Structure 1
């Protein structure tokens, strides 16, 4: 090992140690419900609120979660609070219990209270929505398609901070090595306006509208409609590691848009009315996402297909991938002027996101323009319970 390589590794370890030392102490999050309260909550759930005809339709999504959880170190702790400690093995047993219970749940929803312990997440998390947009795209640049979607740069490296300190479980550091030193990857403005990645053969496809590219980065996956009529899935394959900054928040702080009613639609309308401000405003979010092409999708952080109105993105340091959740929240209408909706069902933690930190979750609504309004207007507190098999917590 060269001296330069040794110095690089030592520098990275020192940085991780400093981060761990500064980590805040964990706060109490999960509160166990009494059996009667859990039964009342269980009886209030409905598969119809998630667009399901029966609880048995959850089986494919549960099996995907099981496939992910079973290959993890079964004794590794993924939830720790006071006397509560749950492992990957515990999550697996919970998923197996629920999968085995599905055929009986429609007739006897009280099974969810008898076979599972309910742990309430507090304080209430904020729930937002996301979806997979459809984009007009081309495999090569032309007069109309001039904004690239980039593949993951080969120099991008990541490290799991949880290996160095338990307070950083679920957190990752993204970096590159420049002249033997750890350095961040270029930010959005340097890539989009400065051409930091141009000419390296990383362009996967080209899109007409830079705002569409920006929102594709936020959603994480999408569907490309190519000039020959074919369709390709464009899938999340990493990010530059810079902190996500909400453009809606920037517009509010600058007095360019009101806080009341802020949504993806409001942001799009402002950018369409002020095209000269688009490059600078998009650059206020330094976070940047890289993609790969696929024939199916979208996939979550598990590497598994997402299920509309079942899959949610969470902060894995708080709600680990593979967790079974009971979710209740008010939803906006599916279209302007329609009636408000409500979801009260079972959700699966199957994804993560750069903006999804702490008491926050993102509800996957599906793909295409039909769900854009719904996904773009979800912004309400949710009641969330972690379900754990009583085989794990008697």
Structure 2
């Protein structure tokens, strides 16, 4: 006799596959990109920032990659100051590059990692480029022009929009106690994932996240159902308790961080999964509805505005965003999508369909420095090591680092960024 639970799962899977088949036939499948929204000021404290308007008055550059001139790459390489990326020397890039290489080598080396207009690269070619840069690091202090001599630089057009993120520290307790009443949840066992790319190439890189109820497949619980209706109550999923719901929300937006415990110790708290719901900015909603003034759009200002709404009111405001992130406690610093720790001022979150994880990404951008000080143009060497729910298409998220000191920078980055991908000339010669 077939167990009832097996029969139910079979029926649910069959229903999902039927829907996917109909979507494929009639061309109504989700394509993984949200509609273009008009440009708007950055909502401080959240990474959900609409793309720049996509209808320029004059024709822009062709979309995709094109090789940069040799002298352009040489000039750029001479401008790189590795200390501006919080590194003491070029050799400090060795460990982050090894982390990227391990990720790359876990893939089929003959499969395509980059499939964009103007550039097609396999994982093997990407890995060989990273290996060559690792070997070259000791020589770059005296001769940074080697980056242009040994590599071809492909410029990405149009210029992506760069935003910033960091790993915050929030007050929390690992056990319930007075003053700590808001739960931080671990990943629920009934959250199911389905890789849509296994069913149709159109859905490559997309996943369906759902739960089952009897024979039905349903969207997973949203923020209102979890935080207001108590959908996860009594299931033992709490990994910690925070003092304020805004701290949890902020931690979810950043993706990982630290818990500052009552005894003064710290614990890493890492991303474990997401409920599959589309992100909607609560801070922007508060601005649009007059709940907060534009000049108060910072972490403390938003917290204060939420408190003015009262205990129930602030939960209602936060519930405007249905997206919900689940966490796990860890013994290592925050990790990126490559499954390795991120490096502040070096790691980038990208859309892998444009800039694949593991890629070497030279960039040039205006960055904030300190309060009251002018912005500064930085020429850097970034590594694509993370992704983000709203980092789609020509968007890059710059990982600024750990703690409150990096908050100022992360919240004030919203700039077009000159972006390249660096590929070994030796690799290209053997195509």
Question: TM-score, normalised on structure 1?
Answer: 0.91
Who is 1:344 aligned against?
379
Taking a change above 3 Å as real, the CA distance of residues 278 and 159 of structure 1, as seen in their structure-2 partners, is: same
Contact (CA 8 Å) 2:31, 2:203: kept in 1 or not? no
Q: Is the 8 A contact 2:161 2:396 kept in 1?
A: yes
Give the one of 302, 314, 325 matched to 1:278: 314
Query: Which stretches in structure 1 are left out of the alignment for 5+ residues?
Result: none
**Residue matched to 2:88:** 53
SS of the aligned residue for 1:85 comes to strand
Distance in 2 separating the partners of 1:260 and 1:388: 43
- 1:366 matched to 2:401: yes
The match for 2:248 is 213
Residues 274-327 of structure 1: CA deviation (Å, up to 9, x unaligned)? 446421221111111111111221111111011010011112222221111011
Q: For residue 285 of structure 2, give the secondary structure of its aligned residue in structure 1.
A: helix
Structure 2 unaligned regions, length at least 5? 34-61
* Structure 1 Cα separation of the partners of residues 426 and 283 of structure 2: 45
Secondary structure of 2:190's aligned partner: coil
2:341 matched to which residue of 1? 305
Structure 2 counterparts to residues 148-163 of structure 1, below 5 A = 148-163=183-198
Paired residues in the alignment total 393
Residue 379 of structure 1 deviates from its aligned partner by 1.6
C-alpha separation in 2, matches of 1:49 and 1:389: 25
- 3-state secondary structure, aligned to 1:103: helix
Q: How has the CA–CA distance of structure 1 residues 106 and 295 changed in structure 2, closer, same or farther, with 3 Å as cutoff?
A: same
**What is the TM-score with the length of structure 2 in the denominator?**
0.84
Given candidates 330, 354, 367, the residue that maps to 2:389 is: 354
Q: Deviations over 1:233-274 (max 9, x none)?
A: 111001101111122332343344566895556534533554
State the SS of the aligned residue for 1:393.
Answer: helix
Of 270, 283, 286, the residue aligned with 1:251 is 286
Give the distance between the partners of 2:266 and 2:32, measured in 1 at CA. 47
Tell me, yes or no, if the aligned pair for 1:79 and 1:320 is still in contact at 8 Å.
yes
When residues 105 and 269 of structure 1 are mapped into structure 2, their CA distance, relative to the original with a 3 A threshold, is: farther
Partner in structure 2 of residue 10 of structure 1: 14
1:144 counterpart residue number: 179
90 and 183 in structure 1: CA distance in 2 versus 1, 3 angstrom threshold: farther
Q: Give me the whole-angstrom Cα distance separating, in 1, the residues matched to 2:324 and 2:211.
A: 15
Q: Report the CA distance shift for 1:252/1:165 in structure 2 as closer, same or farther (over 3 A).
A: farther
Q: Who is 1:105 aligned against? A: 140
Q: Whole-Å Cα distance in 1 between the matches of residues 201 and 68 of structure 2?
A: 27
**How far off is 1:89 after superposition?**
1.5
| Superposition RMSD in Å | 2.5
Verify the 8 A CA contact 1:264 1:376 in the aligned structure 2.
no
User: Alpha carbons of 1:265 and 1:321: their partners in 2 closer, same or farther (altered >3 Å)?
Assistant: farther
- Listed as ranges, the matches of 1:22-61 within 5 Å are 22=29, 28-61=63-96
Q: Which moved more, 1:373-382 or 1:7-16?
A: 7-16
